[in-house]
A and B are shown apart, each in its own frame.
Chain A
Amino acid sequence: MIRVGMVGLGKMGLSHHAIFNAHPGVRVAGVCDSSRYVLSVLGKYTDVDTYSDYEAMLEQVPLDAVVIATPSSAHTGMVTAALERGLHVFCEKPLTLDPEESETLASTAQERGLATQAGYHNRFVATFREVKKLVDSGVLGDLHQVTGEAYGPVILESQGRTWRSRRAEGGGCLYDYAAHVINLINWYCGTPSGVGGTALPSLFSRDTDDAALSTLYFDSGLTGQLTVNWSDESYRKMTTRITLRGSNGRIYADRQEIQVYLRDASLAPEAYGEGWNVRYTTELTPPVWFYLRGEEYSEQVDAFVRRATEGAVEGTNDFAGAAMTDRTIAMMVADAARGPSTARENGDVPVKRRRRRLLARRASA
């Protein structure tokens, strides 16, 4: 039985709290949030001990691990404080807004032998996990193209009032939405050596982006493209798609199905043959002990609980992997700030001043 402290009770935090609380190997020993209202409701109607001060909770409650689901800009300080106390840490994504800080957190955890995990739940989605298995098997031959997409109806009018609408705190489509897709690309293909043609346009948001477009270059010669937009009402909810092309075929996957086309199946894993292969989440997804929003949320919690119990430093979504994503995101932010390459080289292509200012502000955020 591990003792867990929950930090941040927003949308993700409440969901984590429910899933951790339902885990037979966990006792939620304290919850912490800045909203006294949320704390008072939980305190009144459930048995949990509540804290409005993070340091006080760390000081007063004996813990084995913390779950941090606060605004992204607060992650570095909170994770550091937990690691210094020898606690295992589950932290929501993105890990931090600065890849150097993420790498420092990863190495601190490594040195202290602590389990860490970032909340990139797509790595626990059965279809995306199947893609990983196929890519690692080499069945696609030489990979030459990866396409990552995500669309959804999150921001449909200009009235954001939370930290999620402010870039400086880690809000916006790139950090909040595209990070998931970038993380999957990192999982399959590694960290790109460079990015180009990045655009982070705003549709409705004043202080952050509502879409993220970029080209990713990898040392192996593989090229990637990212197209993400969270202001698309034609999608009922977040829809993530990955397409990988190699010399021996193509893989397409979303959270419900995986379609694989193989030219030559002699090296294919079991259940895959020449031509089209389609497998569905219903056959690929193992049962979980408790279901709230999708098996992947339960599985990521279970994976973390196991690792914290065993003290397993390395594992799916450890901070070292999350730092790769933060590194990729930082490249994209810098690239977007540079603007279109024609403008840089010729100096004669008009770029609206307002847009330039916005991009500069993002780069310095």
Chain B
Amino acid sequence: MSQPAGDATAATAAPAPLDRLLFGDNQFFGINHMSEEKARSQSLRFQEIEAVIEVLDAAYEEGIHSFMCTTHDRIGLICDHVRANPDRYPDFRFLPGMPYAHKYANAVTEQGMLGAVKGFLPDEGLVDAAMRGGKSLATRDIEGMVTLLIDAEMKMFQGLQAPVVFLQNVVVDLLLGLGFKEAFVIFDRHVRERYGAEPGFITMNLPALLDVLEEVGIENPVICSNINKIGFRMCGGIEAYEETLRERRFRAIAMSVFASGALSPEEAIEWVCAQPNIESIVFGASSRRNIAGTRALVERHWRR
């Protein structure tokens, strides 16, 4: 962890700014929103963790030290590698996003909703939950259970720098749709108190989410959402996003800036860099050439 748990200064001091460029991990897991063929060739290419580490090394050498990743089991191997080589990666920062949703979705089909939750709780889960102020499953106090699930997902990052911890968009947007606002507060509080980290929220519904986060008292939140020139997966519309960026107080991370390849890199980066108040851009790439290319484009167009 970047800071010791319970460090009071962590919550009150102004949060450290995020790096301008964050490196994403979709390409390593065969996720491509445009082509299944491309997704498969990527998943073949990155089958061995060494191939992933090679690309991460290239990014690190290009000065991109923040890795925004899922909590997929294979990320654990990268964590082990970074932990084993502290001298090589003094500034390597993980920005994990949880939960890795597909494993939960498939588990729900197989074991039902409660079965899946129990399956992912650590072995000592029920006992521990009881210690956390209420037998979670029995007394319907969801807080103990949620924090246990977070801790289970955070285990692999032990001893590593993790300055921001994200809640993935499938969960954020489900909670947003259900109106389960208290869950955002639970996540926010636990990430700050237990990990001394900044909570982050990934969403496809930026304007609507920001309204709710403000309503429950989460100020100046880190929010990662699609921000691209063609409005791809920007719910509420591109104008609402532009207005939100211009007028609202939050820390914006732009993802899907290339709109899954629908935009040329130059056009995409030029547009996103011209938007106000964007703190970071998260991008994925599979080669040093593309990493360096994106970095150069951002250096050229970022006017702040």
Q: Name A's B-contacting residues (CB within 8 A).
A: 10-11, 14-15, 17-19, 21-22, 35, 37-38, 40-42, 44-48, 153-156, 159-162, 164-165, 236-237, 239, 254, 256-257, 280-283, 285, 287-293, 295
Contact = CB atoms under 8 A, between A and B. Distances in A.
Q: Which DSSP category, helix, strand, loop or mixed, fits chain B's interface?
A: helix
B11 interface: no
Contacts of B137: 37
Contacts of A15: 174
B174 A45 contact: no
B178 A44 contact: no
B111 A161 contact: yes
Given A17-B178, A22-B176, A256-B36, A164 B109 contact: yes
B302 interface: no
Contacts of A280: 34-35, 260-262
Contacts of A288: 235
Nearest to A43: B140
B236 interface: yes
A37 B114 contact: yes
A282 B256 CA distance: 11
Contacts of A21: 177-179
Interface in B232-286: 232-237, 259-262
Interface residues of B, number: 50
Contacts of B292: none
Contacts, number: 130
B178 A18 contact: yes
A159 B115 CA distance: 12
Contact of B231 (A18, A160, A287): A287
Contacts of B262: 280, 282-283
Contacts of A292: 170, 173-174, 177, 204
Contacts of B183: 45
B34 A256 contact: yes
Nearest to A23: B177
Given A45-B183, A282-B259, A292-B170, A237 B112 contact: no
B236 A237 contact: no
Given A280-B35, A280-B262, A19 B177 contact: yes
Nearest to A48: B179
